Amino acid sequence: MHQFVADGAAEIASRAQRELEALVAVSSPSGDVDGAEEAIALCAAFLPPDADIERVQCSTPGSAPDLIAGLSGGGSHRLLLLGHLDTVIGHQSHAPLRHEGDRLYGPGAVDMKGGVVLALGVARALAAHRDSFAELTVLLVTDEEWRIEEFRHVERFASYHACLCFEGGQLTADGDEGVVVQRKAAGTMRVAATGRAAHSGSAPDQGRNALLALAATAIEVAKHHHPGGAERLSVVPTVVRSGDAFNVVPAEGELLFDMRADLSQSFDPVCAAVPRELDGVSLETKLQRVWPGMDSREATRALLERAGARLGQRIVGVARGGASDASHFAPSIPLTVDGLGPRGGGAHTPNEFVLAPSLRERAAVALALAAEVLAMEDS
């Protein structure tokens, strides 16, 4: 392992658990402005002291402004470090970080406050080598977990040489350090049903049952689910809401589908499969959220090989199904690598955890990649 990587990873690891404990202590579910502001204040304190901090409009109206922190140097390359501070765990399920052996449990620990801690540590390590970069930027957003609007930061960073995103990390089946270089496109389809109410006891057939129409739609549209096919398309009904009383034919309702595929164009036939009317119930379909796919396998192949040599261990590009903000940057920043955060599990659940030893191990992976992106000289 090259000296810069070893020393930097040790320094990051010496602070990482305390910083993670501080961030997890802040309950910051998507949309909570106070929680986001408190988390951002902590991150600002963990940044290099002379970083230029800017608060910019979030992609989701009503959310706390995003954080952009920049450093300028004398090098030639621009590097973006990317993360998010919002979690899916609400205030009612929030708990402080707890230690059980090598596991650090807490809401958002792996998705992705642990990754944010590593991104800030990488920024501090690189700040001591200003001649290695032209621009070093940390972007932390507050709405990744619930955004349905267009992501607003892509154009600003289109000229950057590389983007490193710190979603949770992993090992490959062979025990190599895995980083994410391929992700599926993601889409959320909403089907709104409008029928007619009626007394379910005395006049049930005078109604037009929105719930039945949505149930039939869920079953029929789910037949498009074919993750083993050429498009790797998954179509999963995830939420249905209908009805206000036990004795009334439900007149309204909505149905949500989560869809994933290699290309977002695969979602169009699924949307078209929803009829406009079913048994007297009108159905309106809207694709509420579309995130692009990501495929930087070829573009990053040589980079991963060189970074592995610097690390002293193979770094292998892997695919992952979940969505990430890295996917938005990959089309304009070919050297986009994700999954640089610590290893763990239980994301989006009360049992979410980070493996404590992986904080140092994944810091080393991220530093090796950053050093190769910037072509840093090292012994």
Q: What is the pLDDT of residues 150-203, one digit of tens each?
A: 999 999 999 999 999 999 999 999 999 999 999 999 999 999 999 999 999 999
Residue 355, C-beta contacts closer than 8 angstroms, at least 6 positions apart: 102, 103, 104, 342, 343, 344
Mean pLDDT, rounded, for 6-27: 98
pLDDT at residue 56 is higher than 70: yes
Looking at residues 197-223, what average pLDDT do you find? 98
- Condensed to tens digits (0 to 9), the pLDDT of residues 112-129 reads 999 999 999 999 999 999
| Buried residues in 264-294 as b, exposed as e (16+ CB within 10 A) | bebbeebbeebbeebeebebebebebbbbbb
Convert the pLDDT of each residue in 66-107 to its tens digit.
999 999 999 999 999 999 999 999 999 999 999 999 999 999
Spatial separation of the C-alpha atoms in residues 95 and 99, rounded to whole Å = 12
Q: Is the pLDDT of residue 247 over 80?
A: yes
Q: For position 330, what pLDDT does the model report?
A: 96
Polymer length of the chain: 379
CA–CA distance, 373 with 164 (Å, rounded to integer): 10
Instruction: Identify the residue whose tokens are 């993670």.
Output: 20
**Would you say residue 379 has pLDDT above 50?**
no
Asked whether 71 and 123 are in contact (CB, 8 A), the reply is yes
Does residue 376 have a pLDDT over 80?
no
Q: pLDDT band at 322, cuts 50/70/90?
A: confident
Average pLDDT, the chain: 96
Note if the bond before 112 is cis, omega within 30 degrees.
yes
31, 146 contact by CB (below 8 A) = yes
Structural domains in the chain plus CATH codes: 3-183+293-373 (3.40.630.10), 185-291 (3.30.70.360)
- Which residues, other chains included, contact 331 with Cβ-Cβ below 8 Å and sequence gap of 6+? 292
pLDDT digits (tens, 9 = 90+) for 326-353: 999 999 999 999 999 999 999 999 899 9
Over range 25-51, report the average pLDDT. Answer: 97
Q: Sign of the C-alpha dihedral, residues 132, 160, 316, 115?
A: positive
Q: Under a CB-based contact definition with an 8 Å cutoff, are residues 172 and 308 in contact?
A: no
Closest to 166 measured CA to CA, from 377, 374, 379, 359: 359
| 34-41 own/partner pairs: CB under 8 Å, 24+ apart | 36/63, 36/64, 36/85, 36/86, 36/142, 37/64, 39/85, 39/113, 40/64, 40/67, 40/85, 40/140, 40/142
CB count in 10 Å sphere of residue 179 = 28
Cα 339 to Cα 171: distance, rounded to the nearest angstrom: 10
Residue 323 scores a pLDDT above 90 = no
* pLDDT at residue 377, as a whole number: 66
Radius of gyration of the CA atoms of the chain, in A: 23
pLDDT at 378 > cutoff 70: no
Q: In this structure, what are the phi and psi dihedrals at residue 368, rounded to the nearest 5 degrees?
A: -65, -45
148 vs 193, residue with greater confidence: 193
pTM of the model: 0.92
For residue 147, the model assigns a pLDDT of 94
Between CA 369 and CA 43 the distance in angstroms is 22
Cβ(188)–Cβ(289) under 8 Å? Answer: yes
Q: Contact 259/188 with Cβ under 8 angstroms?
A: yes
* Percentage of the residues of the chain whose pLDDT score is greater than 90: 97
What's the CA gap between 43 and 160, in Å, rounded?
23
Residue 298's SS3 state is: helix
| HEC assignment per residue over 188-231 | EEEEEEECECCECCCCHHHCECHHHHHHHHHHHHHHHCECCCCC
> Kind of pairing, strands 315-320 and 177-183?
parallel
